[in-house]
Amino acid sequence: MNRELSRRILALSLRGKIALVWRIFRDRDVPMLPKAILPVVVAYLMFPFDVMPDDIPLAGQLDDLLVIAGGLTLFLLLTPRNVVEFHLGQLE
């Protein structure tokens, strides 16, 4: 993903970013590997055992944020660029 596309995604509101991920997730042109990443991220967040327990102040929540950011980044990187650009254009 190039910088210009990244800037366009970052310029979206939080609601727009969620809509973008949801639209891409539902697209039939997206392979199964990127689609499998999102349920894995959700399962990690729901699983009671973390790399860093949530009762450790700040560090416990930081690992959850890193998993979310890393999972979403990987999801977007593995998604065909034309699909990301199409849905991003629809939301802008």
Is residue 89 a contact partner of residue 23, using CB atoms and an 8 Å limit?
no
Rounded average pLDDT over 30-42: 95
Total tally of structural domains belonging to the chain: 1
Rounded average pLDDT over 36-49: 89
Structure confidence by residue, pLDDT tens digits, 46-78:
887 777 777 778 877 888 899 999 999 999 999
Output the pLDDT for position 55: 77
Is residue 26 a contact partner of residue 32, using CB atoms and an 8 Å limit?
no
Output the pLDDT for position 21: 96
Query: Between the CA of residue 10 and those of 3, 20, 40, 70, 92, what are the distances in Å?
Result: 10, 11, 23, 15, 12
User: Which residues does 31 contact at the CB level (< 8 Å), separation at least 6?
Assistant: 78, 80
Output the pLDDT for position 50: 73
pTM of the model: 0.84
**Among 68, 86, 75, 81, residue whose Cα is nearest residue 2:** 81
Q: Which domain holds residue 34?
A: 3-91
